[in-house]
């Protein structure tokens, strides 16, 4: 009887142990599934140290990636290089009146020729966004509306020490954080001009209005002919941190 009793005790204890283990396992499985459910998506390119991929655009992670261009100069340089953009780094520059730049580059080659009367010093952040605009917005829009690739982006300028017209403050051009885009040249020789074609009803106008409107998703400030008469002949694209899309 005593033996039967002790066997019974062992069996009950064993059953309780097994039950406890099963319950614990099911709790940890539930915790793991909750963790999975609420985990942030593991964006490969948002990891510290990972090279930002400029050839990707159009996901929910874009704003986090774009923010890293501003915060991390080395990550920005690595991203340009990985995307095939060649450039030289410029030394920090301090001009009079508070103008100047740091972390600037001179782009030597991108997908198209960035044609300008003078050199185009740009912060790496601006250069990276210019490349993404060219790659993901300008090139596809040219194929879509005009049936020919863009070979040249005509740029009036980037760095210039000056005030915002009508305001008592420095323009983002004063810090190499802005570029003024005058137009485009296509592989078939056609020239597309912001001044002449922005309001046209045909394909040229459709192309220009699309590359202007979609620039708003990449740059902090995008201004065009609809903003004011000062912008009748160019798009102003800047990464100064304020927000406007006009």
Residue ranges in contact with Zn ion by CB under 5 A: 178, 180, 236
Residue closer to Zn ion by CB (options 180, 220) is 180
| Least distance in angstroms from the C-beta of 176 to Zn ion | 12
| Least distance in angstroms from the C-beta of 171 to Zn ion | 7
- Residue nearest to Zn ion as judged by C-beta position: 236
| Least distance in angstroms from the C-beta of 173 to Zn ion | 6
Which among 235, 192, 194, 197 has a CA at the least distance from the CA of 215? 235
- Residues 13-29 as b or e (16 or more Cβ within 10 Å = b): eeeeeeeeeeeeeeeee
Residue closer to Zn ion by CB (options 103, 238) is 238
How far apart are alpha carbons 55 and 83 in whole angstroms? 7
Residue closer to Zn ion by CB (options 83, 138) is 138
Helices (H), the chain: 2-38, 62-71, 73-82, 124-133, 139-146, 194-197, 203-215
How many C-beta atoms surround the C-beta of residue 97 within 10 A?
A: 10
| Least distance in angstroms from the C-beta of 110 to Zn ion | 19
Residue closer to Zn ion by CB (options 161, 187) is 161
Which among 24, 128, 11, 116 has a CA at the least distance from the CA of 66? 128
Residue closer to Zn ion by CB (options 148, 160) is 160
């Amino acid at each position: 009887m005593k033996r039967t009793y002790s066997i019974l005790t062992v069996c009950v204890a064993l059953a309780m142990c097994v039950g406890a283990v099963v319950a614990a396992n099911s709790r940890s499985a539930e915790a793991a599934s909750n963790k999975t459910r609420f985990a942030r998506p593991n964006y490969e390119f948002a990891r510290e140290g990972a090279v930002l991929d400029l050839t990707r655009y159009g996901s929910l992670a874009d704003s986090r990636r774009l923010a890293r261009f501003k915060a991390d100069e080395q990550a920005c340089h690595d991203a340009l290089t990985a995307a095939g953009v060649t450039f030289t780094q410029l030394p920090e520059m301090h001009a009079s009146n508070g103008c100047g730049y740091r972390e600037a580059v001179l782009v030597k080659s991108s997908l198209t020729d960035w044609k300008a009367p003078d050199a185009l010093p740009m912060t790496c952040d601006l250069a990276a966004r210019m490349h993404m605009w060219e790659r993901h917005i300008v090139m596809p829009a040219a194929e879509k509306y005009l049936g020919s690739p863009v070979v040249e982006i005509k740029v009036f300028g980037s760095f210039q020490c000056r005030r915002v017209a009508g305001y008592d403050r420095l323009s983002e051009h004063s810090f190499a954080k802005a570029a003024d885009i005058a137009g485009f040249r296509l592989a078939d020789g056609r020239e597309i001009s912001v001044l002449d074609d922005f309001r046209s009803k045909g394909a040229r106008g459709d192309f220009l209005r699309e590359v202007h409107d979609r620039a708003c998703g990449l740059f902090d400030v995008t201004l065009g002919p609809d903003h004011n008469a000062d912008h009748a002949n160019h798009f102003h694209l800047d990464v100064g941190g304020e927000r406007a899309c006009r």
